Structure 1
């Protein structure tokens, strides 16, 4: 049984609360400098892993500072278009560790469930940018295969929701998934891999807490 923890909420942000995302180089240029609009790195990475950043995160970047650490997290680099060795396409070897389309089993007693294919920010260092997450979700859209495997394996004590970012799911979908996992008596811990409290703080509201608890 999953133990419930005390909850704390982030204070609401300004009316432009960062729930929107920026994907157009022009919008990035308007905020940080016109030169970014024609950056060849942005153009060449549009198809594979396009730029994506929440307005909340963007507002924390210092305009006119090309080496701002936050900017470097989200700004495509020309080196990304260089040919990659096969090992860099799946640096953690997670594809071979899948036991069903959306379930990765790397450690005994722990399972990682791919809950979402979406993120509010495309981090340039993402180690799953080549991972076929959307294909995995299409193969098991309602997590039935993953849940059946977890239900049958009582050695699993911890389930990690990952992706993508699980908190990009709606409260309703998160509540449904959390309830189905909570029904597994042998699962004691539910962990969530997320950057939403940092990149989109307004996502952390009472309705979300209720969905997870």
Structure 2
């Protein structure tokens, strides 16, 4: 049996585990990480008068801000896009009636502990339930945080057995939390165990670490991710071009040097990147860092996240703007994760519409419709 973890995942929610106590493993790796409202106030990232409101948020949702991202925040800017992602806001305790504890339906597609099987050819395994940084808009925020633990050895072994028994599974996705908060030894164990399953050809890791704590993307961790006869993909979450610092780009180079394929994940967020100039700069920065722009996610119906969400129409307009400015290499796919576990779908507006005479009007990158005759139709 594959040994992965010595501890079992806790049943406690982040609130019950007291987020202010910090994540022991993550804190040990980065003692300068800010994890409490008082620490944020003392760092000048929130006014003292806001402390009581932030404490109320911290009783429910975890806080974590690494030095790498702390250095990017301009405390004189009340709308700073980095602070907006990580500094708590009392509005997080206001819940829209449409919001869900499990907005993308993980539970509905979870046949065994720690594994989600939403699409026929791939599964997702949640290795850990902690992160180096806690995004305020996280769609798993009700289940993530200090005390939430990690997947036990027995549960991980059961997940591997589940994959072995289903030859249609071509890809295994490792997520959490942030699975790269694990030690290189544990990452290597997971990589080797999954790569040993013959029909699994692709292993994908989802992480914030290259931008949140780039110093932790060491050569040892990059080696632990690599598998000689499998394609290993690292999906890197970043939402603003300022996150792709020189240190973050160097961390990405350490990954690509091991032959890893890098793709991006970005969440469309009001006040952070709901601007075509910002998204343009972000997508170009991804490509320059050897990261293929992959998904631009429409904001999920996570509890207390209404003040970050845009309308779908706004997102579609932004994509039209990007399409007029960027090559296909730099364009992400704008997607909606359908509530209830029904999967992701592209939600860009259609470029084709029938002309009523057997042909089409096709919108060019500038939005001008051009005629097109489909001769084979």
TM-score (ref. length: structure 1): 0.83
Unaligned runs of 5+ in 1: 1-16
Cα shift readout 1:73-130 (whole Å, capped 9, x = no counterpart)? 0121212112454752111011111011110011110100101111011101100011
Residue equivalent to 2:74:
62
Q: Is the 8 A contact 1:118 1:163 kept in 2?
A: yes
Shift in Å, 1:50: 2.5
Unaligned runs of 5+ in 2: 1-28, 227-377
Q: Which moved more, 1:142-151 or 1:127-136?
A: 127-136
Shift in Å, 1:163: 0.4
Give the Cα separation in 2 of the matches to 1:136 and 1:50: 13
Shift in Å, 1:47: 2.1
Larger Rg: 2
Higher relative contact order (CA 8 A, sep 6+): 1
Give the Cα separation in 2 of the matches to 1:158 and 1:20: 36
Q: Is the 8 A contact 1:40 1:78 kept in 2?
A: no
Shift in Å, 1:33: 4.6
Residues 1:209 and 2:222 are matched in the alignment: yes
**Secondary structure of 2:75 counterpart:** coil
Structure having the larger proportion of residues in strand: 2
Give the Cα separation in 1 of the matches to 2:193 and 2:173: 14
Q: How many residues are aligned here?
A: 197
Shift in Å, 1:26: 2.9
**Secondary structure of 1:48 counterpart:** coil
Residue equivalent to 1:6:
none
Match of 2:47 among 14, 35, 38: 35
Shift in Å, 1:25: 2.3
Give the Cα separation in 2 of the matches to 1:19 and 1:87: 34
Q: Is the 8 A contact 1:19 1:55 kept in 2?
A: no
Shift in Å, 1:27: 2.5
Q: What is the aligned-residue RMSD (CA, Å)?
A: 2.5
Cα shift readout 1:39-71 (whole Å, capped 9, x = no counterpart)? 333111222213211111111111221210100
Residue equivalent to 1:147:
160
Match of 1:187 among 171, 187, 200: 200
Cα 1:73–1:132 shift into 2, 3 Å? closer
Residue equivalent to 1:74:
86
Give the Cα separation in 2 of the matches to 1:129 and 1:83: 13
TM-score (ref. length: structure 2): 0.48
Residue equivalent to 1:173:
186
Q: Is the 8 A contact 1:42 1:50 kept in 2?
A: no
Q: Is the 8 A contact 1:32 1:64 kept in 2?
A: no
